Amino acid sequence: MKKAILLTVVLLSCLFIFNCSSNTSQGESPVYDLVILHTNDFHGHPLKFYNYPAPDIAGLPAIATFVREMREQNPNILVLDAGDINTGRPESNFFNAEPDIIGYNYIGYDVMTLGNHEFDISRDLLKKQMKLAQFPFISANIKTKAGDYLTTPFVIKKFQGFTVGIFGLTTKETETLGSPDNTKDLVFEDEVIAANKMVAELKAKGADIIIALVHMGLYDNNGLGSRRIAAKVKGIDLIIDGHTHSQIEQPVYESGVPIVQAWCWGMYMGEAHVKIKDKKVINFTWKPEPVNLKTKVKKDDGTSELTFISKEYPEDQTLLGMLQPYADKVDAVLSEVIGKAEENFFNGKSRSMETELGDMVADSMVWFTRNQNVDFAIQNGGGIRADLPKGEIQKKVIYEILPFDNSIMVLKLTGSQVIKLFDYVAMIPNGNGAFSQVSRGVSFTINYTTKKCENLLINGNPVDEKKMYSVATNSYMAAGGDGYSVFKEAPDRYDTSVFQRDAFIDYIIFLGGTIKPVLDNRIGIIGLPLTSRFFIKPEEPGTFMFLTSKEAA
């Protein structure tokens, strides 16, 4: 009797184990399940948010809980990231993304693609990050001048019944988006050329399912970003993208290939379910899983309450204990209150039009260099990374707004070069991080129909082509970053060696500590196109609304 019971238990156990990895009927090929969890554009947000865009959301400890629950339910899981782990909040920036990578290690990420912001830091620091990571950083289109790959171009993961090949791509725009000092000795190959090579090589190495893990961007035009890869490269089963911080509710299909992206900052984690039979994908579903995001819901009695969009993921206490010391060290340095904002300074449109925060950042550079007779200042909108919320202003918030280690530089340009500078500004696609914010006294109109800069005035006067102008900007732009190559022509340049954010802090204190948003109408726009980016506008503590690119325009 005991032997019979034992035999029954063994048979049932074997049946259970078999069904966990595949589903099949007698005589048919087995169907295997693969779950892919992914993030992108994490940008140094290792812990739950303390303000922007809402408190107590996201964070790696909550993500760790979500991933653990998924692993308990699914035997075949991949955890991937599509790049830009660097440049965000001070608890990450102060330590060169060390807490983020520690969190990724703990969660068990399998692979990460290099994003353009991985080149905000020096090559030596990037190597240290790769050494700390217990997963590879990949990219198949970045090579040294000698022709060697900068890092591993792909990885292969084997599962029962199928093999997955994952290759990485980094936007070629990194040549201008990355810090020039960190990219000048690299070659960024055309992404389509690199992708075709990877598909052929991975298939030759036995990959059944091919995933392109790319940091390229999701645009309406299939001649750009990840859509271009899907349209021009055959043999890819799935594209996981980043770069544009796109918030989508369902996959975007191009030439039959699903493209997915999980917004940014770990607020969502993409969740893909793939069914594989005879080593081919037979079914694909995907959804963005919110990580402790909340929304306001009206009750029957007319009142409202905050509720989780999906479900609450409690923070993993072990990982929280590993990461909290980084935040504590930052708080000890940056908790000082330097002023008060009477209203919110929203930043969501700094890549597409003049903003109050953009005005103030540019004005702070002119103020700081006031003893050098600076004529005007110009700032790239993409260099301003967060809102300035209403209420007390701590130093740490300024480190979020201006996270880059950029110093203020003063350059001399001829009037003709100034005209060339603003002609370039008019050529920048609306929504691009290169879009300019300018200081008080500068006014001009961007005509997107003609792609011309019109009615340019500096301190109330037309530009004199023969006059020499003194311009303040950040060190990234001064080196030609974001395509501002005219700055490299400057015959005279001076680096103040003072970080932009420190000057901004001093400027707020100079203004008396209490500030309010004021728009000066410095930039006029004609023929504003729709952009491909999504903008965030906080609605109230604990919740927020979303502005699509159409609404933002």
Q: Which pair of structure tokens corresponds to residue 420? A: 């060339």
Same domain, residue pair 378 and 291 = no
The verdict on residue 257 lying in a domain is yes
The verdict on residue 19 lying in a domain is no
Q: What pLDDT was estimated at residue 22? A: 57
Helix (H) or strand (E) holding 328: helix 317-334
- Judge contact between 531 and 351, C-beta under 8 A: yes
**CATH number of the domain enclosing 390:** 3.90.780.10
Domain end point (choices 291, 318, 345): 318
SS3 readout for 129-144: HHHHCCCCEECCCEEE
Q: What pLDDT was estimated at residue 407? A: 86
- Starting from the edge strand earliest in sequence, which strands make up the sheet with 391-394, in order? 391-394, 337-341, 514-515
Same domain, residue pair 76 and 127 = yes
Same domain, residue pair 188 and 214 = yes
Strands 257-260 and 238-240: parallel
Q: What pLDDT was estimated at residue 6? A: 42
Domain end point (choices 318, 348, 383): 318
Say how many CA atoms lie within 13 Å of 432 toward its Cβ. Answer: 17
Where do we find the tokens 């008060």? 340
Same domain, residue pair 355 and 478 = yes
The 10s digit of each residue's pLDDT in 297-340 is 877 777 778 889 999 999 999 999 999 999 999 988 899 999 99
Same domain, residue pair 263 and 354 = no
The verdict on residue 66 lying in a domain is yes
Q: What pLDDT was estimated at residue 540? A: 40
How many Å apart are CA 63 and CA 60, to the nearest integer? Answer: 5
Same domain, residue pair 212 and 80 = yes
Q: What pLDDT was estimated at residue 26? A: 64
The verdict on residue 16 lying in a domain is no
Per-position DSSP letters for 174-228, written without gaps between them: HHHHS-HHHHTTEEE--HHHHHHHHHHHHHHTT-SEEEEEEES---SSTTSHHHH
- What lies within 8 Å, CB to CB, of 292 at 6+ separation is 48, 56, 57, 58, 59, 62, 308, 312, 313
Same domain, residue pair 76 and 182 = yes
Q: Which pair of structure tokens corresponds to residue 456? A: 């340019």
**What distances in angstroms separate CA 345 from CA 356, 380, 396, 550, one per listed residue?**
6, 17, 16, 21
The verdict on residue 268 lying in a domain is yes
The verdict on residue 98 lying in a domain is yes
Q: What pLDDT was estimated at residue 545? A: 35
Q: What pLDDT was estimated at residue 304? A: 78
Same domain, residue pair 366 and 475 = yes
Per-position DSSP letters for 423-477, written without gaps between them: HHHHHSPTT-TT-EEE-TTEEEEEETTTTEEEEEEETTEE--TTSEEEEEEEHHH
Same domain, residue pair 355 and 308 = no
368: domain range? 336-552
Same domain, residue pair 283 and 341 = no
The verdict on residue 4 lying in a domain is no
Per-residue pLDDT of the chain (553 residues; tens, 9 = 90+): 444 444 443 344 444 333 444 555 567 899 999 999 999 999 999 999 876 677 899 999 999 999 999 999 999 999 999 999 998 888 999 999 999 999 999 999 999 999 999 998 999 999 999 999 999 999 999 999 999 999 999 999 999 999 999 999 999 999 988 888 899 899 999 999 999 999 999 999 999 999 999 999 998 889 999 999 999 999 999 999 999 888 899 999 999 999 999 999 999 999 999 999 999 999 999 999 999 999 888 777 777 788 899 999 999 999 999 999 999 999 888 999 999 999 999 988 899 999 999 999 999 999 999 988 899 999 999 999 999 999 999 999 999 999 988 889 999 999 999 999 999 999 999 889 999 999 999 999 999 999 999 999 999 999 999 999 999 999 899 989 999 999 999 888 888 878 899 999 999 999 998 999 999 999 999 987 654 343 444 344 333 333 333 222 2
Residue of 526, 542, 6, 552 whose CA lies nearest to 297: 542
Same domain, residue pair 537 and 429 = yes
The 10s digit of each residue's pLDDT in 83-142 is 999 988 889 999 999 999 999 999 999 999 999 999 989 999 999 999 999 999 999 999
Q: What pLDDT was estimated at residue 539? A: 40
Q: What pLDDT was estimated at residue 498? A: 82
Quote the distance between the C-alpha of residue 167 and its chain's center.
Answer: 19
The verdict on residue 14 lying in a domain is no
Rounded CA Rg of the chain: 25
Same domain, residue pair 252 and 360 = no
How many Å apart are CA 12 and CA 412, to the nearest integer? Answer: 80
Domain end point (choices 318, 352, 380): 318
Phi, psi of 57 (to 5 degrees): -120, 160
How many Å apart are CA 321 and CA 498, to the nearest integer? Answer: 34
How many Å apart are CA 242 and CA 33, to the nearest integer? Answer: 25
**What distances in angstroms separate CA 403 from CA 56, 474, 502, one per listed residue?**
21, 12, 11
**CATH number of the domain enclosing 193:** 3.60.21.10
* Total number of domains constituting the chain: 2
